[in-house]
Structure 1
């Protein structure tokens, strides 16, 4: 897991190389020409959180309705929704989940434009979709996904910004994206996350929260805590946290709060104030130590669209260190396999 985490700057840089960036731009051009009316993502596990990020990008940057499919509606209940005006994007590290492939197959039969975003370009999912993008993360050693997750995020970011611009990214966007590998390396060089792990060795449960682009980061953080430390972790949008679950927060329930420097991060300020009223043990993940937080995992200040690629990095380090402190093997969590097949 440590090796996978450390390779992420290299993976991000690889997606900026002409061959990979050019392939994504070509897919973006096709999508822009086809002009879908709405976008449906289908994914499971960690990839579901990347898809959620893609959904936020689609609605905010493209102005198109977007959402996540419920595969069982098709695979278990036999529904055949009309997706003839949709772009349906299957996101999967392995491309090996039968239910995702079936959703993409049914969508293509109904007339949808279909796309597979995967780390396995020869997978059944990639072959089933009309278009495909290889996130080019290379072999991932640990069961818990790290570098394939950020690769999916970056590929979706390049794709959706490419669609917005008819295919090729403008020069200023390219320049901004080119800074991310170095910023990722700088983020991983900070040792705060590892040092913080001992503080939560005996936590019985945790809460993660964020808004907007950061909400997928909260979801992914909770999953990693559950996978590697077997620690019950509940993820909420900052808004949903205030609608009831706030009542369970207290000093012995640590909260990981993603607080960026854009609109989503600003919306989290009120959430942190309410958590502070309950004396919650809050760790802020972001560029600033904000009021109401007792500790910070520092992340460079970037456009809020880019923040999910960086803010998850110290959490991955925290999760790995916490699992080790609790006597667990984060490389091979009990009961889990790298590829999970569901219908």
Structure 2
């Protein structure tokens, strides 16, 4: 029997609270072991390599590494290795490949070269037998399970949670999470279920059905969420969506904002959320149609609420109503978000 359009993506989205709970039960141990080994090896900086949705999870990991570990962190340019043949000196580095499928040849090559150059290498994947996992010295299976839709949802948030547990485990030194950290993480499955039940994206989908373009924005830990939301809208609804950090938005792109261009602003607590208030004020001056997402409405015309949590945890909640919005908007525009045109589950780039 042929499923109705969007049924796969809807099921994947709905499964995320259970994925969080399962990961906290079964993945936390392997993550702690890897974190302890990283802490023992004491890398001086961290380099992530990823593509697509996983690139946004890697960006989140880079924020965590710099803020929580005090280590310089950034994203590699795979083409420097695969197209130009560069062999950067990665001694004393931790190089982390993040990929749902682990099947992209360029990511595998970056990890292989990094290991050859003396780096400690780690693969974070949903496919423990993948080429990427085989190339790395260490490997973590995020355990999200089979994803039905082409557009990644539950594998993205599983990557976020795995990287959060990893960084906090490295920070703890012994790999195991402190009791208060673990207690806070144990609340996430319930909060995720509330975020999914509480959002009402269908009304917004009807409102933005005929939008010609869209802007997403956020700062700090929220910036990867803004980028991932833009990607989901583009690949499911074919709607041009431009993602900017709140700071970059003010450096020119703000001129695009007007009443006909919706703006999705991810605004939570903490320093980054506070810094978004100036951005929202400038958007209000432009009479922009703003939807705020997160624990702070901060004056948006519309609001998709999630629970107030530590700023580090918010990306695991804030993306959920945005995934539902992408699903609803695709259906409102007559598309099937389970099978976006021209896309496959595994994208092999070189």
Category of TM-score, reference length = shorter chain:
over 0.9
CA offsets 1:26-46 (integer angstroms, 9 cap, x no match): 000000000000000000000
Q: 1:213 to 1:191 in 2, by over 3 A?
A: closer
- SS of residue matched to 2:27: helix
Shift of 1:233: 0.3
- Distance, in Å, in 1 between the alignment partners of 2:96 and 2:196 is 30
- Distance, in Å, in 2 between the alignment partners of 1:288 and 1:75 is 43
- SS of residue matched to 1:16: helix
- Distance, in Å, in 1 between the alignment partners of 2:54 and 2:297 is 29
Q: 1:191 to 1:169 in 2, by over 3 A?
A: closer
User: 2:260 aligns to what?
Assistant: 252
Task: Give the root-mean-square deviation of aligned CA atoms.
Answer: 0.6
User: 1:38 aligns to what?
Assistant: 45
- SS of residue matched to 1:39: strand
User: 2:160 aligns to what?
Assistant: 153
User: 1:105 aligns to what?
Assistant: 112
User: 2:325 aligns to what?
Assistant: 318
User: 2:78 aligns to what?
Assistant: 71
Shift of 1:168: 0.8
User: 2:18 aligns to what?
Assistant: 10
Among candidates 213, 217, 222, match of residue 205 of structure 1:
213
CA offsets 1:210-247 (integer angstroms, 9 cap, x no match): 00000000000000010000000000000000000001
1:339 equivalenced with 2:346 (yes/no): yes
- SS of residue matched to 2:343: coil
Shift of 1:290: 1.2
CA offsets 1:174-211 (integer angstroms, 9 cap, x no match): 00000000000011012422232111001000000000
Moved over 4 A (4+): none
TM-score with structure 1 setting the length: 0.99
Unaligned runs of 5+ in 1: none
CA offsets 1:11-65 (integer angstroms, 9 cap, x no match): 0111111x31110000000000000000000000000000000000000000000
- SS of residue matched to 1:32: helix
- How many residue pairs get aligned? The number is 341
Among candidates 266, 273, 278, match of residue 274 of structure 2:
266
Among candidates 128, 145, 148, match of residue 141 of structure 1:
148
TM-score with structure 2 setting the length: 0.97
User: 1:124 aligns to what?
Assistant: 131
User: 1:286 aligns to what?
Assistant: 294
